[in-house]
Structure 1
């Protein structure tokens, strides 16, 4: 016998009928063999259903078919929810041993257990097991493969709501939820709380992340917004934590490519929709940027924060480096007062010198950090610094006075000139500004002025051939992108005044290799080949860099080209340049060749 019951009513009646139909499996077989429920449409907050058809049979089969449309989508997708083996072994219990949910890009095989308690207050237990489940959405922001998990839920009705307990054991499988990707299982969640109306409360929860550690949580959501949250996580393993949760959030920052090791702990309190307190502790942490920009070793910290009370933050490290410059051991103390940080002085050892910072302050406003400081570079030996940077050996010391530096919304600017002492002369940097200094797309703008640099020190340092004299220089409108030159207007010229001016034959050859074309040949064809050095009156070289091309000129123009070295006295020599436009990368390659060995001049 086949009986049918067909209703077209609102969504609430449809689902009540579906549940009642499942319970009707307890009736004698001769009463009903199949129940069919249909509805034209069913509306829910996030999805819509149409052409809904549910069938329940006493042969142990349950099936629901419908077209589903997600909120914001115009496309309807076929949906099938079925149980091929539904059992009711004891009263108030229903099992589905072989169930499945299928839709476009969705395949969720499952088993399900439903229990109803016998107490006066309503009680329910649900146990769901997913077996090799897979799904993905059209936007590609959610996906899973071979997901195996167990979910249990217990509900007990209270006066105004429901007391609940839940456990999720993610045993294996891959899961992607933008921006996070979990390559394997082993994670677990156990929680309990209360639900009533628009409020969900988590009284206690424990999250276990495989290879990372555990965290205790509690919280409260009301009307769709987070009201309270407490997190207490101790001795977390930072390497897997970084790759699992933190790195995807730092994709556009300077911390997006780190090698990290060590342990960390954190606490966080959020009350009535506002942060209240926090604590971050690091224990012997090593972190290093994979691009070699910075590193800190044996980093330890105790950084408390409170909305209502001032706190003192402590941070120390045993060493590290910044842009290949080694950093010595240092310890930092800072005052934290709500959303501001201040330090009267900070002394950071660098090689055989140090960076001394004063008037350090930072504050967070309108979602962005703003900070400023003053700095002085205690003299550092140039031989030690040049070795650390992989440069040719330089003599002397470098010292600097750095005026007020301000950082705001990713932009760094200076109020005043940066002053350096190098090569027995002075270098000043003015109008300095930087965007995202440590980011992948960092940009720098500045003007550079050099005065009375010792050409003997410079040419000895870079194995260019000996030149005696003094050099001035101006680099205007310098722009670097990711620390590589994009454009500038550079002018190098002999300093005014009286001093010894000599240039060696090798230096002449190397200048020729960079852009001249007659001096080296003239030397070899004349009596000049017997002289090891020559007198000069003036040296000058200009480069206007645009679109990776250097427009070159010199001391003065001639019908044949331009003068780079203007001779004077006996013996004297004049070095000419004939190539006005030279590719910047080609020019750097030439410079590298002539400084790495006794290069032959390149004549064009």
Structure 2
């Protein structure tokens, strides 16, 4: 350490200085103190200042200040305060006060202030006081234990105590008040926003390890953990966490506590991977009043499932054990629990009982509901008996309940919880007996259909947000039958639900059908198929349809003037008769030999066809008798939205018959 000195100046170059857990390297010190002057000029430069376990590091530091000697009786202290500059740091002010017993350092920038105090009587102890300190100033401290964390907003007030005993690990204890904290990880899987909290943190930092205990209260803000989004109330929530980690090994959390009044109480423990994935998680959750849970804790998951706005009332008590990315056990007890969908799609009233699941040992459970509704249509009470033990939850005996004047029955049910990369899977056998389609149509504001819906679906599978139906459904409608097969629903409760199916129509009474839709009057029997039907958000986007009449004993085949006009207006068709001029207007209806129409819908264009085609023309109605009337279409490619508008107009009676 070379030193040059004269009566008025001192210069020093020091390789390394260590004090209070802080290391300064490449230090250059100069002091100019003119003779008889009341103060000198001190300048300290350092290549790096490293706060070690605290994670702080500054480079190219330059501090200049007037150095004064202050004497009070036998006590003497030195004071120096001036601007501090460093690479990439904002303008700061550093004040240093030294005496025989104590060292005080204060660093400030605007309203933010960090003050450090040490006493020679306790050389291993350092106290740091924080006042309106930006969270970014302590980001390095947080990243010392959580390398992916980034603090982007907020401020802190409080006190930090640092103990650096020679024979024990570094200890950092803090009592902090946090205001408006914003935090996120590099991959955005964990985040916090506008978080207010009062925290007591006790931390030990042995070499390459971390042990911490956190207790406190959260006062509003937002939290995100993967798909879990938490909107914190302003009322304080109690928090308790113990954290331990060695090197790059897993995170151990032997204590997890959450206290949100009657809404949610949690106790548990966890082990997490270095990337914060769940290796083991055990939780006990209790809610006396679930009303706040959907908005406060469940909105992230509910949004993905298309269930935003779900409502809950009542309570539950649950135990959950997760290990190696799979659910190992779950015990969920309901206490007068009500669940409802904001869009009115479903509602379950007064759930009581329990559902128990096990991936290993056999367990049994039972629960019941008092009633509920599906799209506003009520269903009655049902009781369910379940068993589990091999990673599946099964129905022990069939369950049935009344619905739409008939009955829905579950012959079997098997549920497989999510595991690793696989989501929830479910399989059931479903029975529908004599459901009243008239009630269904009235509830959903459909045309006044009359008939019954029945069928047995041997397998209904749910996986990857898709429902597939094996087997089929049969509907007795308009004195005929419609068979539905190859039915599947994607995103049933999500965005843009998509339905695919095939339909077969047999012997529908056209007079009853056209009467319901207000589409003129046609007598006869309708047959046909609609294959490859695809509905996106309940709007048709693709299908291949072919509909035609077939003669039936005792059934007349007649078509009214209104029906002829409606068919012509919808299909870009015109009619050709054996009588000329206005004489056709004298007849109310006409006989026909056959009616046929087809449409292949692709890319919002319907490729039209009829009983027979010739060039761009196709016959829709093949007349019979006198007066003979044929309806022929002359545009085989029709814009689908336009066709739908024409159908709606014809059904509503907006198209008036015009006979020329």
> Which TM class, normalised by the smaller chain length?
0.7 to 0.9
Rounded Cα–Cα distance in structure 2 between residues aligned with 1:602 and 1:252 = 53
- The yes-or-no answer on 1:254 pairing with 2:306 is yes
User: 1:26 matched to which residue of 2?
Assistant: none
Identify if the C-alpha distance between structure 1 residues 55 and 215 changes in structure 2 by more than 3 Å, giving closer, same or farther.
Answer: farther
How many Å apart are 1:538 and its aligned residue? 0.5
Q: Which moved more, 1:183-192 or 1:353-362?
A: 183-192
Deviations 1:8-48 (A, max 9, x none): 669xx6872359xxxxxxxxxxxx99996845486999989
1:451 touches 1:495 (CA, 8 Å); kept in 2? no
- The yes-or-no answer on 1:327 pairing with 2:360 is no
Identify if the C-alpha distance between structure 1 residues 438 and 117 changes in structure 2 by more than 3 Å, giving closer, same or farther.
Answer: closer
Identify if the C-alpha distance between structure 1 residues 105 and 602 changes in structure 2 by more than 3 Å, giving closer, same or farther.
Answer: farther
Identify if the C-alpha distance between structure 1 residues 137 and 299 changes in structure 2 by more than 3 Å, giving closer, same or farther.
Answer: same
Deviations 1:310-338 (A, max 9, x none): 23343433444445554333332222224
How many Å apart are 1:470 and its aligned residue? 0.6
- The yes-or-no answer on 1:129 pairing with 2:177 is yes
Give the secondary structure class of the aligned counterpart of 1:269: strand
Rounded Cα–Cα distance in structure 1 between residues aligned with 2:46 and 2:361 = 62
Q: Which moved more, 1:582-591 or 1:296-305?
A: 296-305
Alignment of 1:127-526 (within 5 A): 127-131=175-179, 147-154=195-202, 165-172=213-220, 180=229, 182=231, 185-191=234-240, 193=242, 195=244, 197=246, 202=253, 204-209=255-260, 212-219=263-270, 229-235=281-287, 237-270=289-322, 275-300=327-352, 302-323=354-375, 325-343=377-395, 344-364=397-417, 367-498=422-553, 499-515=555-571, 517-519=573-575, 525-526=581-582
1:513 touches 1:601 (CA, 8 Å); kept in 2? no
Give the secondary structure class of the aligned counterpart of 2:450: coil
1:193 touches 1:204 (CA, 8 Å); kept in 2? yes
Identify if the C-alpha distance between structure 1 residues 244 and 595 changes in structure 2 by more than 3 Å, giving closer, same or farther.
Answer: same
1:62 touches 1:86 (CA, 8 Å); kept in 2? no
2:210 touches 2:246 (CA, 8 Å); kept in 1? no
User: 1:51 matched to which residue of 2?
Assistant: 59
How many Å apart are 1:398 and its aligned residue? 2.5
1:310 touches 1:336 (CA, 8 Å); kept in 2? yes
- The yes-or-no answer on 1:86 pairing with 2:115 is yes
Deviations 1:166-203 (A, max 9, x none): 32323355666776364754443443657574686555
- The yes-or-no answer on 1:545 pairing with 2:601 is yes
Rounded Cα–Cα distance in structure 2 between residues aligned with 1:440 and 1:425 = 35
Q: Which moved more, 1:564-573 or 1:488-497?
A: 564-573
Q: Structure 2 unaligned runs (5+)?
A: 1-7, 25-39, 66-77, 93-105, 138-149
- The yes-or-no answer on 1:16 pairing with 2:21 is yes
Deviations 1:26-82 (A, max 9, x none): xxxxxx999968454869999895616497997598999766xxxxxxxx8879894
Give the secondary structure class of the aligned counterpart of 1:574: strand
How many Å apart are 1:424 and its aligned residue? 2.0
The alignment's TM-score, normalised by the length of structure 2, stands at: 0.73
User: 2:156 matched to which residue of 1?
Assistant: 110
How many Å apart are 1:285 and its aligned residue? 3.9
Give the secondary structure class of the aligned counterpart of 1:526: helix
Q: Which moved more, 1:249-258 or 1:41-50?
A: 41-50
Residue among 627, 638, 642 paired with 1:582: 638
Rounded Cα–Cα distance in structure 2 between residues aligned with 1:190 and 1:174 = 15
User: 2:36 matched to which residue of 1?
Assistant: none
Q: Which moved more, 1:581-590 or 1:196-205?
A: 196-205
How many Å apart are 1:526 and its aligned residue? 3.2
State which structure, 1 or 2, has the greater radius of gyration over its C-alpha atoms.
Answer: 2
1:55 touches 1:64 (CA, 8 Å); kept in 2? yes
- Could you say what the CA RMSD is over the residues aligned between the two structures, in angstroms? 4.7
How many Å apart are 1:227 and its aligned residue? 5.8
Identify if the C-alpha distance between structure 1 residues 217 and 416 changes in structure 2 by more than 3 Å, giving closer, same or farther.
Answer: closer
Give the secondary structure class of the aligned counterpart of 1:362: strand
Rounded Cα–Cα distance in structure 2 between residues aligned with 1:484 and 1:308 = 45
Q: Structure 1 unaligned runs (5+)?
A: 20-31, 68-75
Deviations 1:458-479 (A, max 9, x none): 1222222222111101112222
Q: Which moved more, 1:146-155 or 1:419-428?
A: 146-155
Residue among 625, 644, 647 paired with 1:591: 647
Identify if the C-alpha distance between structure 1 residues 173 and 268 changes in structure 2 by more than 3 Å, giving closer, same or farther.
Answer: closer
Rounded Cα–Cα distance in structure 2 between residues aligned with 1:353 and 1:508 = 39
User: 1:100 matched to which residue of 2?
Assistant: 133
Identify if the C-alpha distance between structure 1 residues 372 and 307 changes in structure 2 by more than 3 Å, giving closer, same or farther.
Answer: closer
Identify if the C-alpha distance between structure 1 residues 517 and 208 changes in structure 2 by more than 3 Å, giving closer, same or farther.
Answer: same
1:49 touches 1:66 (CA, 8 Å); kept in 2? no
Give the secondary structure class of the aligned counterpart of 2:593: strand
Identify if the C-alpha distance between structure 1 residues 284 and 47 changes in structure 2 by more than 3 Å, giving closer, same or farther.
Answer: same
1:492 touches 1:541 (CA, 8 Å); kept in 2? yes
Rounded Cα–Cα distance in structure 2 between residues aligned with 1:34 and 1:304 = 73
Rounded Cα–Cα distance in structure 2 between residues aligned with 1:432 and 1:475 = 12
Rounded Cα–Cα distance in structure 2 between residues aligned with 1:483 and 1:95 = 63
Identify if the C-alpha distance between structure 1 residues 56 and 151 changes in structure 2 by more than 3 Å, giving closer, same or farther.
Answer: farther
Rounded Cα–Cα distance in structure 1 between residues aligned with 2:188 and 2:270 = 30
Q: Which moved more, 1:515-524 or 1:294-303?
A: 515-524
Give the secondary structure class of the aligned counterpart of 1:464: coil
1:156 touches 1:163 (CA, 8 Å); kept in 2? yes
